[in-house]
Amino acid sequence: MPTTPNLKKAFTDKLLIWNALNNKRIMPWKGEKDPYKIWLSEIILQQTRVEQGLTYYEKFLEHFPTIDKLAQAPDEEVYKLWEGLGYYTRCKNLLATARNIVANNKGVFPKSFVEILQLKGVGNYTASAIASFAYGLPHAVVDGNVLRVLSRFFGKQTPIDTTAGKEFYEKLAGELLDVKDTGGYNQAIMDFGATICKPQLPECKVCILKDDCMAYRKGLVNKLPIKEKKLLKKKRWFYYFVFKYNDKILVNKRTDRDIWQNLYEFYLHEAEASENWEQKKIEELLSKVLEINEFKIIDVSKVLIQQLTHQTISGQFILVDITYLPPTLNHLMSVPTEVLSTLAFPKFINQYLEIHSLAINALS
């Protein structure tokens, strides 16, 4: 069945009927017109499940009800509130954008699609969402849910992760947009993909679109959409030395362009492969690499793992009491153990702290 104007109209009409009668998905930002709140929700939901993002959205609005409040907040406070969400570049961009709008636009959120798209951390999808939800501008959102719905309904096997595929689906999405209620339509198609046309076990039995859905008619529902590229996951091994010195713990802030930027960590030894940290190996690193001759090895943790989207982080934590601070550790900050809970650490380190906080505190 070709993608005719009649089929496109049927798609939009039926989708809006479903939205009016059967869409029960409740989220605090639905129907929101405040561009600050919409922007905040969209940034939080990038690479984050709605169920997880909801709590963070509410916490951020409680602490920073306006963009001015967010712009004035100290970095550490914002990063601590973001802790656990991952993809910390989003938080960095959130702060940069808030401060830019307050400093250069008197705290007024930009109102055109082009201006919104120029904001740090905002791509085509986020700009379309803000423009349509806040201002009713005719820009169709195209996220994973939308791509899946369109690929299945129209039976398109064009890979969604290619340049040609993205251009094709963005054009198609624009043609389907209900210009009388762009925000309502955009929310409807995203909700439909999240609750009916799901990635696994879609609700085809109750789908209002199934009679015209090409994937349903041809038995291709579980085969669409198609992705051309396979995700290659990188494996990394992080071995952290938790140094206690003068009743304090040595920490470092990550500043490199890498995962967990602007979060805190302990002294890191990154290895190319899994390593066995027996006492002799620990002693060699401490004495020969770090020039520490007086120390007491308190504990070596079990192997911990965190799965990121593109990386698997594995490693251990070695808790060491030292009486001398060598020049090799001068770049680290010393903080009281009770302050650790106020610093923003990546989830990988928080796993360790949750289990070993008593052991660390006992050293003080």
Instruction: Give the pLDDT confidence score for residue 122 in this predicted structure.
Output: 94
CATH number of the domain at 333, please.
Answer: 3.90.79.10
* Residues 253-305: tens digit of each pLDDT: 988 878 898 899 999 988 888 889 999 989 988 988 888 888 999 999 999 99
Q: What is the largest CA-CA distance in the chain?
A: 80
Instruction: Give the pLDDT confidence score for residue 1 in this predicted structure.
Output: 44
Low-confidence ranges of the chain (pLDDT < 70): 1-3, 230-232, 358-364
Residue 314 lies in a domain: yes
Q: Are residues 207 and 343 in the same domain?
A: no
Range of the domain at 191: 5-223
Choosing from 192, 223, 254, the residue where a domain stops is: 223
CATH number of the domain at 203, please.
Answer: 1.10.340.30
Q: What is the mean pLDDT of the chain?
A: 90
Task: Give whole-number Cα distances, 357 to 236, 265, 340, in Å.
Answer: 25, 15, 9
Instruction: Give the pLDDT confidence score for residue 355 in this predicted structure.
Output: 84
Instruction: Give the pLDDT confidence score for residue 75 in this predicted structure.
Output: 92
Q: Hey, which residues are catalytic here?
A: 42
Q: Are residues 136 and 170 in the same domain?
A: yes
Instruction: Give the pLDDT confidence score for residue 316 in this predicted structure.
Output: 94
Choosing from 223, 248, 276, the residue where a domain stops is: 223
Q: Are residues 74 and 179 in the same domain?
A: yes
Choosing from 223, 243, 262, the residue where a domain stops is: 223
Q: Are residues 238 and 168 in the same domain?
A: no
Q: Are residues 260 and 149 in the same domain?
A: no
Q: Are residues 204 and 79 in the same domain?
A: yes
